[in-house]
Amino acid sequence: MTSGQPGTGNARPTPTGAAGESQPATTAAAGTPTQPARTSDTAPAGTIADQSPPVGGDTTGATPNGDAGADRATSGAASKDTARHGDKQGNAAKKDDAAKKDAGQGGTATSDSTATGTDASENSGTVDGAAKDSGAAKDSGAAKDSGTTKDSGTTKDSGTTKDSKPAKDSDPAKDVKADGADATDKADSEAKPVGPERWEAFASAPEPRPSIFSRAGRAVGRFLIHEWTLAALGALALAVLMTWPTLRYPRYTLPQDYWDPSLQAWQMAWSGHILLAEPARLWQSNTFFPELWSFAFSDTLLGYAPAGMLGSGPEDAVLRYNIMFVLAHALATLGAYALARQLGAGRIGAAVAGVSYTYAPWLLAQAGHLHVLSNGGIPLALAMLARGHGWSLRHGYRPERRHDGWVYAGWLVAAWQLSLGFGIGLPFAYFLAGAVLVTAVLFFARRLRTGQAVPFGRRLFAADVLGGVLFAGVGLLMAFPFFKVTELHPYAERTIGDISLFSPPASGFVTAPGESRIWGGLHEGARAALPWHPEMTLLPGFVLYALAAGGLFFSVWRLRHRLLLLAGVLLTMVFAMGTRFFDGTFTYVPLFEHLPGWSALRTPGRLMLWTTLLLGLLAAGAVTALTDRVRELTAQRIPSWPGPWLRMATLLPLLLVTVEGLNTTPHPVVPTQPAAMRSAEGPLLVLPSNQSLDQHVMLWSTSGFPDVVNGGSGFTPRQLDDVRRVSQSFPDQTSIDYLRTLGVRTVVLLRGQVAGTPWEITIDAPVESLGISRQEVGEAVVYRL
Q: Read off the pLDDT of residues 746-775 as tens digits, 9 standing for 90 and up.
A: 999 999 899 889 898 888 888 888 889 999
Burial of 187 (0-12, 13-18, 19+ CB in 10 A): middle
Q: pLDDT class for 638, splitting at 50, 70, 90?
A: low
The mean pLDDT value for 511-519 works out to: 95
Q: Read off the pLDDT of residues 528-582 as tens digits, 9 standing for 90 and up.
A: 999 999 899 999 999 999 999 999 999 999 999 999 999 999 999 999 999 999 9
Residue 719 has pLDDT above 80, yes or no: yes
pLDDT at residue 478 in the model: 93
Q: Read off the pLDDT of residues 179-216 as tens digits, 9 standing for 90 and up.
A: 444 444 444 445 455 555 666 667 677 778 888 888 88
User: How do beta strands 684-687 and 773-777 pair?
Assistant: unpaired
Which of 195-204, 286-295, 322-331 is the least confident region? Answer: 195-204
pLDDT at residue 641 in the model: 62
pLDDT at residue 5 in the model: 40
In sign, the C-alpha dihedral spanning 43, 46, 48, 52 is positive
Residue 639 has pLDDT above 60, yes or no: yes
Strand segments, DSSP code E, in 464-615 are: none
Average pLDDT, the chain: 79
pLDDT at residue 767 in the model: 87
pLDDT at residue 206 in the model: 75
- Which neighbouring-strand residues pair with 783? 747, 774
Which residue in 170, 566, 113, 615 sits closest to 353, CA to CA?
Answer: 615
Which of 207-216, 279-288, 327-336 is the least confident region? Answer: 207-216
User: How do beta strands 773-777 and 780-784 pair?
Assistant: antiparallel
Residue 432 has pLDDT above 70, yes or no: yes
With beta carbons less than 8 A apart as the criterion, state whether 710 and 694 touch: yes
pLDDT at residue 715 in the model: 86
Residue 24 has pLDDT above 80, yes or no: no
Q: pLDDT class for 276, splitting at 50, 70, 90?
A: very high
User: Torsion angle, CA of 597/599/605/608, rounded to 10 degrees?
Assistant: 30
User: How do beta strands 773-777 and 396-397 pair?
Assistant: unpaired
DSSP H or E segment with residue 351: helix 347-358
pLDDT at residue 201 in the model: 66
Percent above pLDDT 70 for the chain: 73
Distances (CA, A) of 582 to 566, 587, 619: 21, 9, 30
pLDDT at residue 211 in the model: 86
Residue 234 has pLDDT above 80, yes or no: yes
Q: Read off the pLDDT of residues 128-170 as tens digits, 9 standing for 90 and up.
A: 433 334 333 334 333 333 333 333 333 334 333 334 333 444 4
The mean pLDDT value for 360-383 works out to: 96
Residue 346 has pLDDT above 50, yes or no: yes
pLDDT at residue 764 in the model: 87
